Structure formats: C-alpha cells, structure tokens
Amino acid sequence: MTLKDILPGSTVSVKKLNGTGALKRRIMDMGITRGAKIFVRKVAPLGDPIQITVRGYELSIRKDEAESIDVV
C-alpha cells in the first residue's frame, strides 16, 4: 500500500521509500524516512496535492511523490 491510497484522518508508518536519485533524496530531506509516522490531513478534490503531518510539521506532497512511499 502506498501513501497515495491512504484516506484522510489516518495515521501510517513508512515501510519503504521507492524511487531513485533526486526524488528519493528530496523525500528523505523532508523527514519522510523508514519508520516515520505520517498523519494524512487532507487530500485535494482531484487528489493532488496531499497534506500530511510528519515529525511535527505539515507538508503538501504530490501524488507521484506519495506513490513512491510504501506504508503500513
């Protein structure tokens, strides 16, 4: 299951980061690493972007970024 599939109001844990190079580095620089807890706040009406809370701060990420984050 990926972060893109999670419904608003749910809390999940990062299992694995897929992707390579700059995309993976960018996601890790935002604090999204293996084991981090992510709370999905809102999803825009068309599904892009997704507003999340991770490590005490809020982020908005795109669907294609969320698709590369496997969660449990």
Distances (CA, A) of 16 to 38, 43, 46, 63, 64: 13, 21, 26, 16, 15
Give yes or no for residue 20 having a pLDDT over 90: no
Give yes or no for residue 34 having a pLDDT over 80: yes
pLDDT mean over 36-48: 91
Do 38 and 14 contact (CB within 8 A), yes or no?
A: yes
Rounded-to-integer distance, Cα 67 and Cα 20, Å: 13
> What percentage of the chain exceeds 70 in pLDDT?
100
Rounded-to-integer distance, Cα 52 and Cα 15, Å: 16
Confidence band for 48, pLDDT divided at 50, 70 and 90:
confident
Domains and their CATH numbers in the chain: 3-71 (2.30.30.90)
Quote the pLDDT of residue 7: 92
